[in-house]
Structure 1
Amino acid sequence: MAEDKPDKDSQTEEPTEHKISKAEEKGNLPFSRELPTFAGLVGYSMIAIFIAFPAMSKLSNFLVQWIERPESWRLNGAEDVKHLLLLVGGHVGLALLPILVIIPLIGIAASMIQNVPRVVGERIRPQFSRISPAAGFSRIFGKSGFVEFLKSLAKLIGVSLIVYLSFFKGNTVFTDALGTVASALPEYIRSEVAQLLISFSVAVVAIAAFDFAWSRFSWRRQLRMTKQELKDEQKEIEGNPMVKARMRSLARDRIRRQMMANVPKATVVVANPTHFSVALRYKPPTDYAPVVVAKGQDILALRIREIAVENDVPVIENIPLARALYKQVEVDQVIPQEFYQAVAELIRYINSQKLH
Structure 2
Amino acid sequence: MSEQDQESKTEEASEKKIRDAIERGNTPSSKEAPIFASIAATLIASVFLIRASGGELTRFLSNFLSDPAGFDISTNKNTTTLLVYVAVQASLFVGPILLLFMVFGLSASFLQHAPQFSLERISPQWSRISPGKGWSRIAGAQGLMEFGKSLAKFAAIAVTTWLILKSDKNTVVTAMLQDPSTIPELVLTIATRLLSAACVATIVIVAADLVWTQKSWRRSLRMTKQEIKDEHKQAEGDPILKSRRLSLARDRARSRMMAAVPRATMIIANPTHYAVALRYVPEEGGAPLVLAKGVDLIALKIREIAEANDIPVIEDRVLARSLHAGVQIDQMIPPEFYKVVAELLCLVYARKVA
Question: TM-score with structure 2 length normalisation?
Answer: 0.63
Aligned residues: 238
The Cα shift of 1:75 comes to 2.2
Larger displacement relative to structure 2 (82-91 or 218-227):
82-91
The 1:141–1:236 alpha-carbon spacing in structure 2 relative to 1, beyond 3 Å, is same
Q: Which amino acid aligns with 2:164?
A: S
The alignment partner of 1:14 has SS state of coil
RMSD: 2.1
Aligned counterpart, 2:6 = 8
The Cα shift of 1:105 comes to 1.4
The Cα shift of 1:239 comes to 1.4
The 1:4–1:200 alpha-carbon spacing in structure 2 relative to 1, beyond 3 Å, is closer
CA contact (8 A) 2:23 2:116 kept: no
From 9, 33, 55, the equivalent of 2:31 is 33
The Cα shift of 1:186 comes to 2.4
Structure 1 unaligned spans of 5+: 241-356
Alignment of 1:118-267 (within 5 A): 118-168=116-166, 171-239=169-237
Aligned counterpart, 1:76 = 74
Query: Any idea what the Cα deviations from partners look like across 1:257-308, whole Å, max 9, x if unmatched?
Result: xxxxxxxxxxxxxxxxxxxxxxxxxxxxxxxxxxxxxxxxxxxxxxxxxxxx
Query: Any idea what the Cα deviations from partners look like across 1:113-133, whole Å, max 9, x if unmatched?
Result: 111112111111111221223
The Cα shift of 1:172 comes to 2.4
The 1:144–1:88 alpha-carbon spacing in structure 2 relative to 1, beyond 3 Å, is same
CA contact (8 A) 1:167 1:173 kept: no
Alignment of 1:308-347 (within 5 A): none
The alignment partner of 2:43 has SS state of helix
The 1:52–1:135 alpha-carbon spacing in structure 2 relative to 1, beyond 3 Å, is same
The alignment partner of 1:7 has SS state of helix
The Cα shift of 1:171 comes to 2.9
The Cα shift of 1:71 comes to 4.6
CA contact (8 A) 2:49 2:97 kept: no
Separation of aligned partners in 1, 2:159 and 2:193: 14
CA contact (8 A) 2:11 2:224 kept: yes
The Cα shift of 1:179 comes to 4.2
The alignment partner of 2:111 has SS state of helix
The Cα shift of 1:34 comes to 0.5
Separation of aligned partners in 2, 1:181 and 1:68: 15
The Cα shift of 1:95 comes to 1.6
Of the two, which has the highest radius of gyration? 2
CA contact (8 A) 1:166 1:173 kept: no
Alignment of 1:79-98 (within 5 A): 79-98=77-96
The Cα shift of 1:174 comes to 2.0
From 103, 106, 114, the equivalent of 2:104 is 106
The Cα shift of 1:87 comes to 0.9
Structure 2 unaligned spans of 5+: 239-354
The alignment partner of 2:26 has SS state of coil
CA contact (8 A) 1:6 1:226 kept: no
The alignment partner of 1:114 has SS state of coil
Query: Any idea what the Cα deviations from partners look like across 1:11-61, whole Å, max 9, x if unmatched?
Result: 100000111011111100000010111111111111111121232222111
The 1:33–1:4 alpha-carbon spacing in structure 2 relative to 1, beyond 3 Å, is closer
Separation of aligned partners in 1, 2:169 and 2:219: 48
Report sequence identity in percent.
37
The Cα shift of 1:134 comes to 2.6
The Cα shift of 1:173 comes to 4.0
Query: Any idea what the Cα deviations from partners look like across 1:177-210, whole Å, max 9, x if unmatched?
Result: 2244334332222111101000000011011111
